[in-house]
Amino acid sequence: MQDPKDGTQLFVSSPLALTDHTTSRSSALENHLLGSISFGMGRPNTNLNVPCQHIHAAALHLSEHIGAENWLSSSPLRKIEDASANCHGNQDILWGVIELPESLGIQDGTPPLDHSARAAYQQLFGILDRHHYPYLWRAWNYMPDITGITHGQERYQQFNAGRQKGFAASARAVTGNVPAACAIGVHGGPLSIAFLAGRKPTIALENPRQISAYNYPDQYGALRPTFSRASLATLHRQELLLLSGTASILGHATTHIGDVAQQTQETLRNIQAVLDQANLHTQSSTAYQLHDLQLRAYVRHAKDIDVVRRIVNSNMKSNAQVLYLNADICRQDLDIEIEGIAWKTIAPASNP
Ligand code: 3EB
């Protein structure tokens, strides 16, 4: 595919545009396939020998069968053998999926999701340490019943507590230079965490319109969320922008409660504000724009899909690749959350 001295470049195929690789195995593809994401309420339809994350949520607005989102690397990958998870990586990046069932009942006063999140993040950082990928770039967190309350605590707060403890126990910062992430409620399955890590640090970006999530006030939980608004990562000849889940939040408060159209517009303004930050740091000669992003949108109520699509499409180019999933946002009063990725070719780093 390319000369290895050029280093890794990553390409993410939209599930909406792609030939279906989930049913046909090809070793040439598998050598370059970092990982794969599938979605839907049924069982994942994949026999690929790479880490796959299945999102238990229905795709909205799609009538025909669609494939998976595939992350392809220009330089070949190998399986990273680790007892904790199935991972794939090369000299630059590592991708894997950790899935943990929630242990039953309270353990030492700790609710099950708190316990599982802590265990999962300790496993994740253990893998990064053992295989020498020190930097977590992005995590995709999915869990059932995210806004439910058990053991006297909201489950998203349980997750936040366990995640933060997992970071701290692994000697990772819980403020400042933290990875991009999303935390989404799905309709079944275990706690599922996909991760992308690298050998080089990223720039963690924040949104001036929002308080950093790791500084949210106590009303959202004593142990705060551990994520940044975006990660800007550099590969040898490529820059990758990994935008976290973004919602209709100003400061720390949800805005436009009950109005999905306004929430969608506010979310897009927040995304633009993060892009503006990325553009202060990019090594590319061109700025990141909304229509450069390949988007994944989580829509709480299926009935809202037409309103959301109309607004998103009016801000994107006509060939926009947006995957809409019917899933729960972590706050009861949020009806929409949108995340995205974009990449640009840059001049090669001078010291590879
Ligand atoms: C927010 O901005 C909305 O807990 O990992 C967005 C992205 C949100 C990531 C996470 C949560 C997370 O607070 C929710």
Which of 244, 274, 335 maximizes ligand 1 atoms within 8 Å of its Cβ, making it the mutation to test the pocket?
244
pLDDT class of 350 with cuts at 50, 70, 90: low
- CB–CB of 296/267 below 8 Å? no
Look up 81 and say whether it is catalytic: no
Which is catalytic among the residues 239, 266, 337, 339?
337
Residue 22, pLDDT score? 46
**182 is written with which tokens?**
């999303």
d(CA 29, CA 249): 40
Residue 22: phi, psi to the nearest 5? -75, -20
Mutate which of 207, 211, 227, 231 for ligand 1 pocket (most atoms within 8 A of beta carbon): 227
Tell me the average pLDDT of the chain.
Answer: 90
Spatial separation of the C-alpha atoms in residues 342 and 352, rounded to whole Å: 22
Tokens at residue 247, please? 């919602």
Q: Tell me how far apart the alpha carbons of residues 246 and 266 are, in angstroms, rounded to a whole number.
A: 10
pLDDT in tens, 216-244: 999 999 999 999 999 999 998 999 999 99
Pocket of ligand 1 (CB under 6 A): 141, 181-183, 213, 225, 227, 244-245, 247, 249, 330
Structure confidence at residue 18 (pLDDT): 45
User: What pLDDT band is residue 64 in, cutting at 50, 70 and 90?
Assistant: low
pLDDT of residue 306: 96
Which of 182, 246, 339 is the best mutation target for the ligand 1 pocket, counting ligand atoms within 8 Å of the beta carbon and taking the most? 182
Residue range 193-203: mean pLDDT, rounded: 98
CA of 206 to the centre of ligand 1 (A): 12
94 strand-pairing partners: 89, 197
Give the distance (Å) from ligand 1 centre to CA of residue 181: 7
Check: CB of residue 302 under 8 Å from CB of residue 326. yes
Looking at residue 145, its pLDDT comes to: 97
Q: What digits encode the pLDDT tens for the residues 246-299?
A: 999 999 999 999 999 999 999 999 999 999 999 999 999 999 999 999 999 999
Q: How many CA atoms lie within 13 A of 329 on its CB side?
A: 24
Cα of 313 vs centre of ligand 1, distance in Å, is: 23
End-to-end CA distance of the chain: 19
Q: Is the pLDDT of residue 25 over 60?
A: no
- Kindly report, residue by residue over 134-193, the tens digit of the pLDDT: 999 999 999 999 999 999 999 999 999 999 999 999 999 999 999 999 999 999 999 999
Query: Could you tell me the pLDDT band of residue 325, with boundaries at 50, 70 and 90?
Result: very high
